[in-house]
Structure 1
Amino acid sequence: MTHPIQTEVLIVGAGPTGLMLACELARRDVPFRLIDAAPQPWNASRGKGLQPRSLELLDDLGVVDRVLEGGRFHLPLRFHDTDGGHEDRNLYENQEPSPQVPYGSPLMIPQWRIEGILRDRLAEWGGRIEFGTALENLAQDDAGVTTTLSRNGVTETAQTRWLVACDGGRSTARRLLDIAFLGETLETHRMFVGDVRVSGIDRDFWHAWRSKEGFVGLAPLPHTDAFQFQASLTMDMSTEPSLEVFQQILETRSGRSDIRLINASWMSYWRANVRMVDRYRVGRAFIAGDAAHVHTPAGGQGMNTGLQDAYNLGWKLAAVIRGADAALLDSYEEERLPVAASVLGLSSKLLERAVNAKHLVPKRGAETFQLDIHYRDSRLAQELRASPGQICAGDRAPDAPGLRKGDQVCRLFDLFRGTHFTVLAFGDGWESCLADIEARHGRLVKCVTIGESGWLDSEGHAVRGYDIQSDTLLLIRPDGYIGFAINDKAPAAVDAYLRLINP
Structure 2
Amino acid sequence: MRVLITGGGPTGLTLAIDLARRGVDVRVIDKTDSFFPGSRADTIQPRTLEVFDDLGVVDAILDAGSLAPSYRVHLDGRAVEERRMAELRAPRPDQPYPNPWTLGQAQLEDILRSRLAELGARVELATELVSLEQDEHAVTACFGAGETARFDYLVGADGGASTVRKAIGVAFPGTTDETFRLMIGDVHAPSLDPTTGHWFAAATSPMTGVAMTPLPGTGMFQLNTAIGMDDDASLTTMQNALDRFSADVHLTGCHWSTVWRPNVRLAERFRVGRVFLAGDAAHVHPPTGGQGMNTSIQDAYNLGWKLATHTSLDSYETERRAVAATVLKASDDLLRLYATGHAEAHQRGEEHLGLHISYRPQTATGRLAPGDRAPDAPVQDSTGKRIRLFDLFRGPHATQLVFGAPAPDTEHTYAVLRPSDDPTGCGQYVIDTDGNALAAYSAYIAQTDGHVLVRPDGHLASRGSTGADDW
Q: Shorter-chain TM-score: what band?
A: over 0.9
TM-score (norm 2): 0.92
Displacement of 1:177:
1.5
Displacement of 1:476:
0.3
Q: Which residue matches 1:335? A: 319
Q: Which of 449, 456, 461 matches 2:431?
A: 456
Matches within 5 A, 1:121-270: 121-150=115-144, 154-211=145-202, 215-234=209-228, 237-252=229-244, 254-256=245-247, 258-270=248-260
Give the direction of change, closer, same or farther, for the CA distance of 1:189–1:401 in structure 2 (3 Å limit). farther
Q: Which of 263, 266, 269 matches 1:276?
A: 266
What letter is aligned with 1:408? K
Displacement of 1:210:
2.1
Partner Cα distance (1:92, 1:402) in 2:
30
Contact 1:8 / 1:32 at 8 angstroms: preserved in 2?
yes
Partner Cα distance (1:465, 1:215) in 2:
43
Give the secondary-structure state (helix, strand or coil) at the position aligned to 1:24: helix
Partner Cα distance (2:77, 2:125) in 1:
50
Partner Cα distance (2:326, 2:30) in 1:
29
Contact 1:403 / 1:412 at 8 angstroms: preserved in 2?
no
Q: Which residue matches 2:426? A: none
Displacement of 1:406:
3.4
> Could you report, residue by residue, the CA deviation over 1:278-310 in whole angstroms, capped at 9, with x for unpaired residues?
110011100000110011111110000000100
Displacement of 1:404:
4.1
Of residues 350-359 and 331-340 in structure 1, the stretch that sits farther from structure 2 once superposed is 350-359
Displacement of 1:360:
6.8
Q: Which of 290, 299, 305 matches 2:295?
A: 305
Identity across the alignment (%)? 43
Partner Cα distance (2:192, 2:8) in 1:
35
Displacement of 1:94:
4.3
Give the direction of change, closer, same or farther, for the CA distance of 1:360–1:426 in structure 2 (3 Å limit). closer
Q: Which residue matches 1:497? A: 469
Q: Does 1:115 align with 2:115?
A: no
Displacement of 1:474:
0.6
Which residues of structure 1 form unaligned runs of 5+? 1-6, 439-444, 487-492
Partner Cα distance (2:89, 2:178) in 1:
34
Q: Which residue matches 1:78? A: 72
Q: Which residue matches 1:490? A: none
> Could you report, residue by residue, the CA deviation over 1:444-500 in whole angstroms, capped at 9, with x for unpaired residues?
x510111132311111110111125655101100000010344xxxxxx644536x8
Partner Cα distance (2:279, 2:336) in 1:
23
What letter is aligned with 1:173? V
Q: Which residue matches 2:459? A: 481
Partner Cα distance (1:389, 1:166) in 2:
35
What letter is aligned with 1:362? H
Contact 2:43 / 2:68 at 8 angstroms: preserved in 1?
no
Q: Which residue matches 1:489? A: none
> Could you report, residue by residue, the CA deviation over 1:165-211 in whole angstroms, capped at 9, with x for unpaired residues?
00011111111111111100122331111111112111122111124
Q: Which of 81, 84, 91 matches 1:87?
A: 81
Give the secondary-structure state (helix, strand or coil) at the position aligned to 2:177: strand
Partner Cα distance (1:104, 1:70) in 2:
18
Partner Cα distance (2:49, 2:34) in 1:
26
Displacement of 1:334:
1.0
Contact 1:390 / 1:467 at 8 angstroms: preserved in 2?
no
What letter is aligned with 1:132? A
Partner Cα distance (1:70, 1:76) in 2:
18
Give the secondary-structure state (helix, strand or coil) at the position aligned to 1:34: strand
Contact 1:52 / 1:369 at 8 angstroms: preserved in 2?
yes
Q: Which residue matches 1:446? A: 412
Contact 1:476 / 1:484 at 8 angstroms: preserved in 2?
no
Contact 2:338 / 2:345 at 8 angstroms: preserved in 1?
yes
Partner Cα distance (1:231, 1:25) in 2:
38
What letter is aligned with 2:34? Q
Partner Cα distance (1:128, 1:404) in 2:
36
Partner Cα distance (1:342, 1:395) in 2:
16
Q: Which of 332, 350, 359 matches 1:348?
A: 332
Query: What RMSD in Å do the two structures reach over aligned CA positions?
Result: 2.0
Q: Which residue matches 1:441? A: none
Q: Which residue matches 1:466? A: 441
Partner Cα distance (2:13, 2:468) in 1:
33
Partner Cα distance (2:376, 2:329) in 1:
28
Of residues 277-286 and 204-213 in structure 1, the stretch that sits farther from structure 2 once superposed is 204-213
Partner Cα distance (1:218, 1:460) in 2:
44
Q: Which residue matches 1:394? A: 371
Partner Cα distance (2:272, 2:318) in 1:
13
Q: Does 1:362 align with 2:353?
A: no
Displacement of 1:22:
0.3
Q: Does 1:422 align with 2:399?
A: yes
TM-score (norm 1): 0.87
Displacement of 1:19:
0.2
Partner Cα distance (1:169, 1:17) in 2:
13
Partner Cα distance (2:440, 2:15) in 1:
29
Give the direction of change, closer, same or farther, for the CA distance of 1:478–1:467 in structure 2 (3 Å limit). same
Contact 2:337 / 2:344 at 8 angstroms: preserved in 1?
no
What letter is aligned with 1:248? N
Contact 2:69 / 2:213 at 8 angstroms: preserved in 1?
no
Give the direction of change, closer, same or farther, for the CA distance of 1:259–1:329 in structure 2 (3 Å limit). same
Which residues of structure 2 form unaligned runs of 5+? 424-428
What letter is aligned with 2:217? H
Give the secondary-structure state (helix, strand or coil) at the position aligned to 2:180: strand
Partner Cα distance (2:379, 2:400) in 1:
19
Contact 1:74 / 1:92 at 8 angstroms: preserved in 2?
no
| Matched residue count | 456
Partner Cα distance (2:209, 2:323) in 1:
31
Give the secondary-structure state (helix, strand or coil) at the position aligned to 1:260: coil
Give the direction of change, closer, same or farther, for the CA distance of 1:210–1:359 in structure 2 (3 Å limit). farther
Contact 1:8 / 1:161 at 8 angstroms: preserved in 2?
yes
> Could you report, residue by residue, the CA deviation over 1:7-39 in whole angstroms, capped at 9, with x for unpaired residues?
611100000000000001100010121000011
